[in-house]
Amino acid sequence: MRAYLIKRILLAIPTILGVATLVFFLQALVPGDVVDFMLGERAIPADREALRREMGLDRPLTEQYFRFLLGDLRYSYIQHRPVLEMVIERYPATLELAMGGMLVAVVVAFPLGIASAVRRNTTVDHVSRLGALLGLSMPNFWIGPMLIIFFSIYLDILPVSGRGGLSHLVLPSVTLGTAMAAILTRMIRSSLLEVMGEEYIITARSKGLRESVLLFKHALRNALVPVVTIMGLQLGRLLGGSVITETIFSWPGVGRLMITAITTRDIPLLQGCVYVLIDPRIRLR
């Protein structure tokens, strides 16, 4: 077990390094200057250069890059608050949204997946598979606005944006959980069909065991092993995918904080959003 964990950690290092590198150089290409956000475009050149030296922005890009990798976190350029404090403050909202998306996926996928497997090659199966295909095909940045137009503007039954009560969580959770529901539906169907063809299931059926007992007590329990594995892996995707959803619904999570950091060129804040949850060496200075 220890060797497996060490191997997984070592394999994760190149991925983390690649993501961090990509984020740094992409933000370097974004138009705009953090000094303009802080002083305004009418600031005199002397003040601009002084602030640039103070923040280390006058140093070569390679030096800034290595400082970025080493986790040189201090304070947000724009908000003048500790970066770690800001990220920790926003993380519960992102986790809440991810859990909401997971709940939507489970509630939708399990009935559809089971029904599709039990009624294979029937209308129920065809509709379920078509729905799963549509769920995979529709991106978050399209589903979110469509839900807002229908449920918030047309029907006026759910809030458009923000974080408040349970009603505020409904549309973002559906937006985030749709793709995962489609993945789980297909996984449950295929896994359950595979298990239903096993010899012990055929033997139990020949002995007169009721189909409901056969399905839920024997087949489904074994079919859930790969499904639960996929759910664990997809939870990380939900946390990452919440960037788009949080932006659409003005959800105050880490994803929206990251977008704010990118648009204002707030490098320490962007660095904290990317790094602080994956690098235990980071400390406030």
pLDDT digit string, tens, across residues 13-25: 777 777 777 777 7
* 190 in the same domain as 124: yes
- pLDDT > 60? residue 129: yes
* 267 in the same domain as 242: no
Other Cβ atoms within 10 Å of 39 Cβ, number:
15
pLDDT, tens digit (0-9, with 9 covering 90-100), for 215-273: 777 788 788 888 888 887 777 767 665 788 888 998 888 888 888 888 777 877 877 77
Q: Is residue 283 part of a domain?
A: no
Dihedral Cα 109, 115, 119, 122, nearest 10 deg: -60
- pLDDT > 60? residue 285: no
What pLDDT, on a 0 to 100 scale, did the predictor assign at position 283?
Answer: 39
What pLDDT, on a 0 to 100 scale, did the predictor assign at position 149?
Answer: 92
* 216 in the same domain as 140: yes
Nearest in space to 35 (alpha carbons), one of 83, 81, 77: 77
Bin 151: left if φ > 0, else alpha if -120 < ψ < 50, else beta: alpha
What pLDDT, on a 0 to 100 scale, did the predictor assign at position 9?
Answer: 67
Bin 250: left if φ > 0, else alpha if -120 < ψ < 50, else beta: left
* 183 in the same domain as 166: yes
Chain mean pLDDT for the chain: 80
* 265 in the same domain as 241: no
The count of domains in the chain is 2
Task: Residue 157: give the domain boundaries.
Answer: 92-254
Sign of the alpha-carbon dihedral angle for 261, 265, 266, 271: positive
Q: Is residue 264 part of a domain?
A: yes
| 3-state secondary structure at position 159 | coil
* 228 in the same domain as 193: yes
* 185 in the same domain as 105: yes
Q: Is residue 282 part of a domain?
A: no
Do 28 and 65 form a contact (C-beta atoms < 8 A)? no
- pLDDT > 90? residue 148: yes
pLDDT, tens digit (0-9, with 9 covering 90-100), for 63-92: 777 777 776 566 787 788 888 888 888 888
Burial 242-263 (b: 16+ CB within 10 A, else e): bbbbbbbbebbbbbbbbbbbbe
pTM: 0.76
- Whichever domain contains 129, its CATH number is 1.10.3720.10
- Quickly state the pLDDT bin for 173 (edges 50, 70, 90): very high
Q: Is residue 200 part of a domain?
A: yes
* 242 in the same domain as 153: yes
* 180 in the same domain as 131: yes
* 127 in the same domain as 43: no
* 112 in the same domain as 78: no
